[in-house]
Each structure stands twice: as C-alpha cells, then as structure tokens.
Structure 1
Amino acid sequence: MNRAWENPRKMIDLATNLTQDAAGIWVARNQTNVSYPSEGNENCAAVEGSSYWFRHRNDVITHLVSKLSPKATFFDIGGGNGCVSNALQSAGIDVALLDPGSFGARKAKQRGIKTVIQSTLEDAGFDVLEHIQPDVEFLQTIHQYLQPSGLLYLTVPAYEFLWSKDDVYAGHFRRYTTQSLTARLKAAGFTVTFCSYLFSFLVPPIFLLRSIPSRLGLRKPVTAATTEREHSTRAGLAGTVLQKCLDVEFNRIRNGKRIPFGSSCIAVAMKAA
C-alpha cells in the first residue's frame, strides 16, 4: 500500500507510539496480536528468492508504481520480509516497510530496506486487508492518512470458491472479486483507477488441489516444505508454459489491460485531490 509522502521521516514524525531499536528498526512500544501465523514470514523467506509467484507480483507492482507514482514514498503495509520493498527500492522507488512481525522486520532490514517499522498501522499510532475483519473501516483509515491525489496499491486473494485451509492458516477472513474490492474501495472514499485479477492460470489447480480437498477434509496442514514445493519454478516444458502465462499477464497489464480472472486481485485507488 502506498502513501505519497515526500520522505519516510515525515511518516515517522506522525507516529506517536514508536521507538527506534539498536538495529535501526522503528518498533511499537505496545503491540497487539494480528491474524497472521507467527512462522509465516519465515516460510515465505525460504521461497521468495526462487518463487515465480513472488517474482511475478513484484514485477506487476513495480511496473505500476514506476508508471503512476515514481516520485512518491511507497508505504509497504504488511510488507513481511521486504520482498516487494526490495524490488521497489532496487527500481529507485523510496520505500518504508511496516510489518508487525519481528522476523519479517529484521529480515527486511538485512535486505537493506532503509525505513523499517515493526508494528501494525494502529499500534504505530498512525493491518493487511484480507487479515482484517472490518475491511472498509481500515480502508477509511488509509484514506485519512493519504495526501490528496495519493495512491493506494493493494493485492488480495480472489474468489471465495477458492477458499481452503491455506486461507485459514494464513489468517485470512475473506477472498475478493474485483467487483467486491472496487465496492469496498469506493465505500471508503477512493476512486479506483485500476483493478485486475492476477495468476489466471492458478485458478484450476488451487480449486482442485486446495479448495476441494479442504472441503472434503483431505487437505494436509501447510508446512514449509509444502510452500517451497508449490512456489518452485518448474523445469522443462512445464516451466516454459508457466513463464509464457506470466509474460502474457505482465504484457497485458503493461499495456493498460485487465486480466479477466485469477487467484489474486490487484487494485490502484486514488484519494481525490
């Protein structure tokens, strides 16, 4: 998520509950529990460098930010280990990462993210949308913090029929459609400038290998090995087809077009000037 700040320090100055530790990480003095597994960032850290999923999402987000708000500071809410922030910072975008997890915050700092805040948005005194029950109220809070013409970049899981035990493990409360996400953004006062699906090719395998087994009670618990296996880039023909699918999606979005369906949604929304 993005707020168009002139520099990250101005964000820190607005927070009333942060202190800087010896590693240079800004930490909330009081922290509440969040709907995300404690080992989630550790599992992601093991696969982010080689995952086609993280790479493709980073490519799309970096393209949109570079095109629409290259001069602004990207405020990465729920930024985890700094995977997105690192890609943006490497592209010359000014970044500040906010994540409540100690592992994620320290991993992001090790990656070289300059401004890291270990906190939720609320605990900082200023969570991730699908992890928050009152999502419209949270979006309204984001809207208040944005400067006029500031942009919000948002990615969330798509389609309730793809719900599985993986969502329960990840602490999700819901999945979205582009229509439901657009409606919530408008209800919070935003103008939606772009909204599309991503990962169209993943809808059938997620439904067949996650959703149906979960409904039948056959889906096994999510482990680090499961995550690594599902995110690994395939070799041979399978890898070639996968990359072709990713290239088609990226080129459509680069040309200003939408993806008609997919396992994730991505949106860009603006606060009126």
Structure 2
Amino acid sequence: MQVEDRSFWFRHRNDCIVASMRRFPPPAGVFLDIGGGNGYVTARLLAEGHQAVLLEPGPVGARNARLARGIPTVICATFEHAGILPASLAASGMFDVIEHIERDAAFLDRVADALQPGGRVYATVPSYAWLWSRADISAGHFRRHTRATLDKLFSARFDILYATYFFTALVFPIWLLRSLPYRLGLGRRDGLMSSEDEHGSGGSWAASLLEKILRPEVRAIAAGRTLPFGASCLVVAQKKSV
C-alpha cells in the first residue's frame, strides 16, 4: 500500500482511468474491480460516485482494502469462484490484471457473460513485447500488449469504444534500463530500474518531473484523443449485443 500511496505511477494511472470513464461512462449499476488488490483504484471509483465492488483473490490485499482503505464491499475470491451471476454487472475493471492470466480470451468470455447487455469493460495492460524484461517474469506476466493485440483479444465478445497508449515518457527508460539489460543477459537483476524507480515511489526529482510531463495525457484521454505510443495501453470496450 505504501508504494501505491506514494507513487506518481499509480496516481497517473488512476487519473487516466477516471478520464476514460468520464468520457465513456459506465451504465448505472455494479462496477466490479477485478483483481483490485489493495483497493487503490476502487477507492477512487467510489469517490467518483460509482457503485464499485472489489474482487481480490489475495487475502492480504482484500484485508487491506476492507480495513485500511475502508472499501465497503470486498469479495476475497477468484472471478471463477466468486459466484457472479450472469448479466449481473453493469461494468467491470481489470487494471493491470489481464497480463497475469494465461487463458485471457477464455477469461474475457466469462466476464462478458457476467455483464448486462451493453455492459462495459475498462482495462489497462503493459505494452510492447519488446519491453519484456525480468520484471515481467517476476510479476507473473504472460505477455505485454499492443492496441492491435487488444483489439484481437476483445473482438469476439466486445466492441472497442476507445483504446490508447499512455505513460509515453516511460517507454525509453524502461527499454534502456530494464529491457535492454535483460536481452543482453546482464545478470539476473531487472537492470538499473527498480520497481520503486518505475512507480516513482521514492520521492525523487525524476518522478516529479515525469509526473509533470505526463499530465497532458490525462487531458488527451478526457478529450477522447489517442496517444501514439506508451508503456501501457488503456481500453474501453462494450459487450456486443446478441
């Protein structure tokens, strides 16, 4: 929780998520934040007036969300074992979750079944296979995405309403300090960029500068404009009508 609370990365991601939801609002009803961890995003969604419910399989994250963040409704279970009824959700969020799921297409199919007609999905994922590094392996990622791979992944059950890259300023630092050392086989470390460096949780001048550089991304997303590249992708999709 400390990393999230002090991190420009998590703040900026939240701002981008909220900007996309204001531009493409979810239908009224339950918004299920799938794999929401400590509840950092869920808390913001509640503050925005959404009927957000947190689903988190990890007991530590679920406990932190309920007791430390005060999230009213927390379900400690996987999506498959949570007992979500068909067509019961207005919307769902998967924020840096899909990359952790090996059979992601089958998972999205189950999410679609749980959504009401016209229900929406909001998701973020890390981008570009060429940015792969030991950090992805350590985090339990199966893949990184592009807008094209996301379109293919969602196309069976969803219509893409909006998709963009973001975290443009992080692409080169991640490649130089993490991906390149990994590809060159330079030791077992992630390279020169730690998780705290990437997430800006150390209070450094570089993190403050990056936060200022990234602010225009929020305005672009709020206006429905797309960004041509970035270290993450954001997608808004709507369940296809039968």
Normalised-by-shorter TM-score class: 0.7 to 0.9
Identify unmatched segments of 5+ residues in structure 2.
Answer: 85-93
Match of residue 179 from structure 1: 148
Distance 1:254 1:132, change over 3 A: same
Aligned with 1:85 (options 42, 67, 71): 42
What is the TM-score when the length of structure 2 is the normalising length?
Answer: 0.86
Structure 1 match to 2:74 = 116
Q: Deviations over 1:12-56 (max 9, x none)?
A: xxxxxxxxxxxxxxxxxxxxxxxxxxxxxxxxx221011111001
Aligned to 1:152: 121
Q: What is the alpha-carbon distance in structure 2 between the residues aligned to residue 49 and residue 186 of structure 1?
A: 35
* CA shift for structure 1 position 231: 2.2
Aligned partner of 1:98 among 35, 40, 55: 55
Q: Tell me what 2:19 maps to.
A: 63
Superposition deviation, residue 94 in structure 1: 1.3
Give the superposition deviation at 1:130.
0.8
CA distance in 1, matches of 2:10, 2:53: 19
Q: TM-score w.r.t. structure 1 length?
A: 0.77
SS, match of residue 192 in structure 1? strand
Identity %, equivalent residues: 46
Larger strand proportion, structure 1 or 2? 2
Partner SS, residue 151 of structure 2: helix
- Residues 239, 213 of structure 1: CA spacing in aligned structure 2 closer, same or farther, 3 A cutoff? closer
Q: How far apart are the structure 1 equivalents of 2:196 and 2:100?
A: 22
**Counterpart amino acid of residue 250 in structure 1:** V
Equivalent residue number for residue 6 of structure 1? none
- 4+ residue stretches of structure 1 with deviation over 3 A? 219-222, 233-236, 238-241
Residue 200 of structure 1 is matched in structure 2 by 168
Q: Name the count of aligned residue pairs.
A: 225
Matching residue of 2:90: none
**Superposition deviation, residue 219 in structure 1:** 5.4
Tell me, what secondary structure is at the counterpart of 2:4? coil
Contact residue 66 and residue 93 of structure 1 kept, 8 A: no
CA displacement at 1:215 relative to structure 2: 1.9
Unaligned runs of 5+ in 1: 1-44
Decide whether the 8 Å contact of 2:54 with 2:73 is kept in 1. yes
Conserved in 2, the CA contact under 8 Å of 1:80 and 1:104? yes
Please report how far the alpha carbon of residue 203 of structure 1 lies from its aligned counterpart in structure 2 after TM superposition: 0.6
